[in-house]
Amino acid sequence: MLLCLACYNGRLASVFDNASEFKLFRVEDNNICPAGHLSLPSKDPKDRTSAILACGATTLICGALCGCTRDIIESTGIKVIPWIRGTVDEVLEAVKNNRLDDLAMPGCSKGSGQGRCRRQPGRRAGFHGHGAKNSITNFK
């Protein structure tokens, strides 16, 4: 798996649109190795999606992410794990120990895969309950 972290100053950017770089890591047999980074001069979501694709990333971990951008990224086959916070080292340790739910942003339910932070497919943005079933702990 090629993991992409949307970062700003050594930690996950609190909002995907504010990430200044993508840090890439190869994850194999519970070993995580740096695989490069990409500076992001453009804030255009289409440019960012193209950059993720060009890097060959299979999974994106990021902070807050609007539903439209998430839908675009996921439509390319990339697994998106949003609403995560922490330093790069904290996130990598959580990935290694299968504990990403411990780094869920405040207000995002643990164990329910982003809970109220994920809008339901086909629904407009806003609060729509806790219907998400996509676990953030078992993404491998």
Predicted confidence (pLDDT) per residue in 74-116, tens digit: 999 999 999 999 999 999 999 999 999 999 998 886 543 444 4
pLDDT at position 43 is: 85
CA distances from 51 to 7, 21, 134 (A): 14, 10, 25
Q: Which amino acid is at 123?
A: R
pLDDT at position 19 is: 95
Please spell the DSSP secondary structure of 30-90, one letter per residue: TEEEEEEEEE-----HHHHHHHHHHHT-SEEE-SB--HHHHHHHHTTT-EEE-SB-SBHHH
pLDDT by residue (tens digit) across 14-51? 999 999 999 999 999 889 999 999 999 788 888 898 99
Q: Tokens at residue 41, please? A: 């001069």
Alpha-carbon gap, residue 2 to 122, rounded angstroms = 29
Alpha-carbon gap, residue 41 to 45, rounded angstroms = 12
